[in-house]
Amino acid sequence: MNITIIGNGNMARGIGTRLVEGGHTVAIHAKDVTKGNELAAHLNTLTKTAGVTVAPIGSETDDIVIVATPYTEIENVAKEYDGLAGKIVVDITNPVDFNTFQLIPEPGQSGAQHVAELLPEAAVVKAFNTTLAGPLAAGNVEGKELDVFIAGDDGDAKMKVSEMVKSSGMRPVDVGPLANARHLEGFGLIQMAVQDQLGTQWMSALKFLG
Ligand SMILES: NC(=O)c1ccc[n+]([C@@H]2O[C@H](COP(=O)([O-])OP(=O)(O)OC[C@H]3O[C@@H](n4cnc5c(N)ncnc54)[C@H](OP(=O)(O)O)[C@@H]3O)[C@@H](O)[C@H]2O)c1
């Protein structure tokens, strides 16, 4: 698949690593081209196909666009990139107010639904928000495959994201409609809150066993 990642931070690196190791073609869209080139160069060391480029968004060949920016940047991203219309857009964000350490959306709402409102012509799928960047880069935790929880209202889009996840060495778990993203975002918040307690240096993973 051809996949664009917007952002060049920890999650872009972690998800990008899994994607190139799964044989996908990745385009990094970075605000800062130098940082984008650095990430692309790193990812290209992991793939024999040299499939990582730094590119503007909107290429007709993109199957999926992963927005790997802070939640608070999503409105800017939606305004800045016309190319998101008609795409499968993966929202990986944890919409957390870091002053209060509570979720930003009102109770019963989710950041993912807000993203879908901002991008009415895209098929928005929530995924990866409970999968930490370190384990993504490593590909596993203690040898166990990573679970990637996926919520969305467009069945075809969810299936395509699931295929991307599976072919990149992880297990997709469909958790239902986009409204269920609020539960994933709650899990994401709790996962962040317990990291010090766990003492695993952010190398833990949420997974269904069995
Ligand atoms: N880290 C994790 O383990 C983890 C796990 C699950 C979900 N998440 C979620 O994943 C998202 C990214 O997290 P992260 O840890 O990768 O953060 P990060 O390392 O801070 O990276 C954020 C990236 O977003 C870019 N960015 C900001 N505004 C942008 C814009 N308007 N257009 C394009 N790029 C923009 C930044 O570019 P500059 O560097 O140029 O500013 C940076 O590359 C967050 O929403 C977070 O909640 C993170």
Percent with pLDDT over 90 in the chain: 85
- Tens of pLDDT, residue by residue over 151-162, are 999 999 999 999
In the predicted structure, residue 103 carries a pLDDT above the cut 80:
yes
Task: Give the whole-angstrom CA distance, residue 119 versus residue 103.
Answer: 21
Q: Which residues line ligand 1 (CB under 6 A)?
A: 6-12, 31-32, 35, 68-71, 73, 76-77, 92-94, 129, 132-133
In the predicted structure, residue 120 carries a pLDDT above the cut 90:
yes
pLDDT in the model for residue 3: 93
CA nearest neighbour of 171 among 144, 202, 132: 144
Ligand 1 centroid, distance to 105 Cα (angstroms) = 19
Ligand 1 atom with minimal separation from the 10 CA: 16
Q: According to the CATH classification, is domain 2-198 in 1.10.340.30?
A: no
Higher per-residue pLDDT: 48 or 63: 63
Please name the residue whose Cα sits nearest to atom 10 of ligand 1: 93
pLDDT in the model for residue 55: 73
**What pTM, to 2 d.p., does this model score?**
0.97
Please name the residue whose Cα sits nearest to atom 34 of ligand 1: 7
pLDDT in the model for residue 198: 97
pLDDT in the model for residue 210: 86
